[in-house]
Chain A
Amino acid sequence: MRKSSRRLVVIAVAGVLLSVAAGLTLYGLQDSVAYFYAPSDVAAKARVGERVRVGGLVEEGSVARKDGALTFRITNGAGVVAVRYEGDPPSLFGENEGVVAEGVWRGEEVFAAERVLAKHDENYMPREVVEALKERGEWKGPQ
């Protein structure tokens, strides 16, 4: 094969792969991007069907376990969201601790979380928890 036609083939192969990749990327970003909201904003700002992460503190006295499901409320001082989660939370989950609940927003009274993240330890916690604590003025770490 001559050099010019070989180059053409390489460009064609790369072009096909790149467009497949671009298509997959756009499709993937549609479905697996989660937007972060504070508990006080989510009801007003999130679209129904949107994947969201709600971050804040676990409200004191709100944690209950019933029939294998965990229910609790997330607060940032200005607003509260009730969450239901079918599963066991990370070991550092607890009242007055930072938490992030991820799931699809249905606009219902109780937010059905698919994933619950807590901070890893005293020093390291999910980005969104830090942001939520900063908003509430309870953040003590570096700015």
Chain B
Amino acid sequence: MTAELGGFLLALSLVMAFVQGGLGLAAGWRRDEGLAAAAAGVAQSNAIVLLAAFAILVSLFLRTDYSVAVVAANSHVAKPLLYKIAGTWGNHEGSMLLWCLVSATFAALLASFPGGMGRTLWSRAVGVQGVVTGVAIAYTLFLSSPFARLDPAPLTGKDLNPLLQDPALAIHPPMLYLGYVGLSVPFSLAIAALVEGKIDSAWARALRPWTLVAWVTLTIGITIGSYWAYYELGWGGWWFWDPVENASFMPWLAAAALLHSAIVTERRGSLASWTILLAIMGFGLALLGTFLVRSGVLTSVHAFAVDPKRGYAILAMLAFFVGGGFALYAWRAPRLSEPSGFLLVSRESALVANNVGFAVATGTVLIGTLYPLMLEAVTGRLISVGPPFFNITFGPLMALLFIALPIAPFLAWRRGDMKEAWRWLQWSAYAAAGMAVVTLALLRGPFWSAVGIAVGVWVLVGALLYAWKRAGSFARIAALPLAFWAMTAAHAGAGVFTIGAAVEMSFRKEEAAQMLPGQSVDFVGRRITLADISTVEGPNYTAQRADFRVDGRALTAERRFYSVSGMPTTEVGILGDVTGDLYIALGAPAEGSVGPAAWTVRLYWNPLVHWIFAGAGLMALGGALGLVVLARRSRRRVVAAEEASPA
């Protein structure tokens, strides 16, 4: 009966979501406080209903109820507890239910924290968020219900793809969904503002924390996914420009642009219609990402759905929200308030450069991702666009953007002083030029690596110089406001990431060796000995484990075989520190050889690879600090407003 109860709750939440949508929009139209309160109440209750439905699905996975189709297809009694729970969202149907839950939760939060928004704007935003949630629930209920039964129930399940049985992968999807769906709130606020026909700094202020939540969770989700690919796939790489990676990266870029343009709109009133447009495009890219990943147009680890009906339905959702958003924009945006002026050299200009850079870079990723699909649709030819395309297009554009990055904080609003900025930034320029010379002359690196490293140093040192300028002395650095640290952490993170990525891509080493137990090889100045190969039993797999000695230190690498799904995986051995990772993957024993089989061992040296993840982590930390700042400001404003108005 439990699965049927889940289905019932899902149907109930569908009705509630559209009721919330109708009430919210009507409340904005009629300026009716009672309707607005009702919409907020429905939004809050709906989050609870969906939470209950999700809890039911988790319990079905925990009990491994094979009579439920999605459990039978993705779970097995022998699976460890963590992956029974994570299995709930490690499949198409369950992940769509998670999507609905997140969307409803954001609606409830929006309903509970109106911030400094006008009442009608707020109730309209709650209404639009209700429609967004309702459409997602309709899709889940009618085209991919996780509560569908199997009759007769199979005796055994198919297990979760072993590649996905990893702690990182238990967190990665929920984080990405928080980010994807998080972008629906800026979308709802943008649509509400267009309906309202007015944009002011209170609107932009309300937009910022939601955008920041989406951006931070996307950053964490993408970083975890990248780290997972790094240690789980055994290819030594951390980013492959796979369409599925791009699908999550494009909304991230749009959110990063939106974060910055919303600041300009809040502080200066400028870029208002651009901010609206970005909010619509950000959610559009999140939906496009969902379409690419879920529709099966790309076949990869992520493609759960092979049902074309689902693909068309998601495409229709995309067309409805983005097409509707753009149409509303074209109709209403010309009436929005006009910006105040600023000079060419000003913080506004620098942030405009930031936005143009992000938008164009997003465009190139979009072209590279969609080009194969479009060409196939038009000509029927199958092609693939490789990583070099993205490196050639995205790399230089980001480099241009990052050259502008550290300058912005040094420029004042409206009218900046470039001479004053250069007085500080020259040191960062010297450091960057010095590192470029070192890269080219001493390390004999390729030209692009020198550019990448120089840009990274320029960003990092620039961020630190700004801290120094603001503080004036060492003693006062600790007294700088949190808002400042938020920005500095994020910008310094971008620098650390860039240095790591440039070094890793240019100076990585890779070698394959045939080894027998007892043999040694020399690799990047280290002596690596294969001490022993043994067979070990895991909870739901059998593994061949290789024990290595690297200059006296131990390292193990495994090849696992999951008996239920009949699938092998690679568990790499990593010996790492701040300078880089020694990364060893155990391959197959060489076939057809006489005598004892030599094992293929792949050795990688990935210099500064931790800087990549640490840089991304610093960006996320900066975003999280920014959230704390915005939350504090909002509370202060509410308190001030309450004190100002007679009770």
Contacts and interface: CB of A to CB of B under 8 A. Distances in A.
Interface of A: 1-3, 6, 9-10, 13-14, 17-18, 20-21, 24-25, 27-29, 31-36, 51, 53, 63-65, 68, 87-88, 91-92, 102, 120-128, 130-131, 141-142
Given A3-B341, A29-B371, A130 B299 contact: yes
A55 to B, nearest CB: 9
B77 interface: no
Contacts of A125: 299
A33 B383 contact: yes
B590 A65 contact: yes
B588 A91 contact: yes
A127 B299 CA distance: 6
12 contacts: A1-B341, A9-B344, A28-B393, A32-B385, A32-B386, A68-B512, A68-B514, A87-B512, A88-B602, A91-B570, A92-B567, A124-B301
Nearest to B357: A17
A33 B565 contact: no
* 10 residue pairs, one from A and one from B, having the closest CB atoms: A36-B382, A32-B388, A32-B389, A28-B389, A28-B392, A32-B386, A24-B393, A88-B587, A121-B567, A21-B360
A24 B306 contact: no
Interface in B161-181: 161-163
Contacts of A92: 567-568
B163 A1 contact: no
A90 to B, nearest CB: 8
Interface of B: 161-163, 234, 298-301, 303, 306-307, 341-344, 349, 352-353, 356-357, 360-361, 363-364, 367-368, 371, 381-390, 392-393, 396-397, 400, 512, 514, 559, 565-570, 587-588, 590-592, 600, 602
Given A24-B396, A122-B565, A88 B600 contact: yes
B383 A32 contact: no
Tell me whether chain B's interface is mostly helix, strand or loop, or mixed.
mixed
B388 A34 contact: no
Contacts of A6: 341-342, 344
A19 B391 CA distance: 17
A123 B341 CA distance: 57
B221 to A, nearest CB: 21
Nearest to B593: A65
A29 B370 CA distance: 12
A33 B352 contact: no
Nearest to A124: B301
A3 to B, nearest CB: 7
Contacts of B300: 120, 124, 126
Contacts of A130: 299
Nearest to B297: A127
Contact of A34 (B163, B371, B384): B384
Q: Output the residue of B384, B386, B390, B602 with the most chain A CB within 10 A.
A: B384
A57 B72 CA distance: 30
Nearest to A18: B360
A131 B382 contact: yes
B352 to A, nearest CB: 6
B512 A36 contact: no
A20 B382 contact: no
B384 A33 contact: yes
B389 A120 contact: no
Q: Output the residue of B361, B363, B382, B591 with the most chain A CB within 10 A.
A: B382
Contacts of A65: 590-592, 600
A27 B356 contact: no
A30 B372 CA distance: 13
Given A29-B389, A32-B392, A17 B371 contact: no
Nearest to A100: B384
B234 A91 contact: yes
Q: Output the residue of A3, A53, A127 with the most chain B CB within 10 A.
A: A127
A17 B384 CA distance: 26
A68 B512 CA distance: 7
B383 A20 contact: no
A120 B244 CA distance: 15
A34 B512 contact: no
Nearest to B598: A65
A25 B367 contact: yes
Nearest to B346: A1
Given A1-B343, A68-B512, A10 B383 contact: no
A20 B602 CA distance: 39
A64 B342 CA distance: 68
A80 B163 CA distance: 32
Contacts of A3: 341
A13 B356 contact: yes
B163 A121 contact: yes
A12 to B, nearest CB: 11
